[in-house]
With several copies, the nearest count.
Chain A
Amino acid sequence: MSDAAATVRVNGRDEPLEPGTRLDVFLSQLGLDAQRVAVERNREVVPRSQHGEVTLEPGDVLEIVAFVGGG
């Protein structure tokens, strides 16, 4: 109920969310370089250009991916 309980689901795990956190800030808090990852929020890709305009909501489901070796 308290703000402290607010989370977003990131790559299958719950992560704490400061109310009003923007996506670009959130990525930065996670130590991620936005140029190297892609983000899906609630099944929609968030273009890199909009990272600064999107405010995360409690309960959001994020997928944050990058390229890895594969065939």
Chain B
Amino acid sequence: MSTTLRLGDHELSSRLILGTGKYASLELMKEALTVSGTEMVTVAVRRVELGERGTGAFIDYLPEGMALLPNTAGCYTADDAVRTARLAREAGYSSLVKLEVIGDERTLYPDVVGLLEATETLVKEGFTVLPYTNTDPVVERELLERGAAAIMPLASPIGSGQGVSDANALRILRELFPDTTLIVDAGVGTASDAALAMELGADGILMNTGVASAADPVAMARAMGLAVEAGWLAASAGRIPRKLHASASSPNEGMISS
């Protein structure tokens, strides 16, 4: 089992990828990113504000050496997502993209038909496509057939904090695609959610709201970094089987006489 996570050209020591949205301040973001141990962050692509100086401010607050994973968040059509991805490549000098084609405003579930189309287009253009998707194994297979570099199923809706809503679905994906990079993207609310997702077979976890909107984002960032590593180690360590009854951990022999 590899101890690093390879995404595109990046070899990541931490299996936690953090978003950069929703922080109360850029200083807070910087500190949270730093303590989390993450080596890759997602960024959004948005129009610059004309007349405002300092569009670079955000980037300047990213810890040095941080790899960028631009997303196409907010795109509701394959076409918008493709154009946004191209702009992201131009902006960031890298062809890695977290591909989102959203199909519903309230749940932010993907539009899988548009997602498949955009994946196909971008792969042909040389992108390393990491598609945000549902947990449907047939959709995952079609994404992979179109050249997706990983599958990124949601644990639960983006920002919902519901954690792993369907553990069985993640188990199925891991079993059907044993050699595919599987990143759980969205829904993680606390450390145990992150550890559980890793134990179910994820190679990494991408999250934003769970950290950025916690009361103390820095503490939660650290917690998430530890939990992802804990879950990864636990998955590889071969846990004990669950039993209904007990099994003593101290010797049964050698008791003093009553």
User: A64 CA to B43 CA in the complex, in Å?
Assistant: 16
CB-contacts of A29-56 with B (<8 A): 30-33, 36-40, 43, 45, 47-48
A65 and B87 form a contact (CB under 8 A): yes
Q: How large is the interface on A (under 10, 10 to 19, 20 to 34, 35 or more residues)?
A: 20 to 34
Task: Tell me, yes or no, whether A20 is within 8 Å of chain B by CB.
Answer: no
Separation of A68 and B206 alpha carbons in the complex (Å): 17
A69-B20 contact given A15-B50, A31-B53, A32-B48, CB 8 Å threshold: yes
Closest to A48 in B: B90
Looking at the assembled complex, report how far the CB atom of A55 sits from the nearest CB atom of chain B, in whole angstroms. Answer: 19
A40 touching B87 by the CB < 8 A rule? yes
In the complex, B171 has a CB within 8 A of chain A: no
A48 cross-chain contacts in B, Cβ below 8 A:
90
- Of A15, A30, A43, which contacts B83 at CB under 8 A? A43
Please report the C-alpha to C-alpha distance between residue A40 and residue B158 in the assembled complex, in whole angstroms.
29
- CB <8 Å contact, B50 and A65: no
A68 to B53, CA, bound (A): 14
Chain A residue numbers with a CB within 8 Å of B207 are 71
Task: Place the interface of chain B in its size category.
Answer: 35 or more
Contact of A71 among B47, B59, B212 (CB under 8 A): B212
Nearest-neighbour CB distance to chain A for B215, whole angstroms, equals 18
Closest-CB distance, A22 to chain B (whole angstroms): 17
Give B55-99 interface residues, CB cut-off 8 Å to A: 55-56, 58-59, 68, 70-71, 73, 83-84, 86-92
From A46, which residue of chain B is reached at the shortest CB distance?
Answer: B90
Q: Is B128 an interface residue (CB 8 A)?
A: no
Cβ-defined contact, A71 with B53, below 8 A:
no
Q: Across the interface, name the chain B residue whose C-beta is closest to A36.
A: B56
Select B92's contact among A10, A30, A61, A67, beta carbons within 8 Å. Answer: A67
CA–CA, A63 and B88, complex, Å: 12
Is the CB–CB distance between A70 and B83 below 8 Å? no
A64/B22 contact (C-beta < 8 A), A36-B59, A69-B29, A71-B207 known: no
B48/A37 in contact, CB under 8 A: yes
Shortest beta-carbon distance, A45 to chain B, in Å?
5
Q: Which residue in B22, B50, B84, B90 is a CB contact (below 8 Å) of A69?
A: B22
- Could you tell me the distance between the alpha carbons of A47 and B159 in the complex, rounded to whole angstroms? 34
- Considering the complex of A and B, which 4 residue pairs feature the smallest CB-CB distances, nearest first? A71-B19, A70-B44, A71-B208, A71-B249
Query: Can you add 12 more A-B contacts, CB < 8 Å, to A31-B51, A47-B90, A68-B45?
Result: A33-B56, A36-B91, A63-B256, A65-B46, A66-B56, A67-B44, A67-B88, A68-B43, A70-B208, A71-B19, A71-B206, A71-B212
B residues apposed to A, CB below 8 Å: 18-23, 26, 29, 42-48, 50-51, 53, 55-56, 58-59, 68, 70-71, 73, 83-84, 86-92, 158-159, 206-209, 212, 248-251, 254, 256-257
Give chain A's interface residues, CB within 8 Å of chain B: 10-13, 15, 30-33, 36-40, 43, 45, 47-48, 61, 63-71
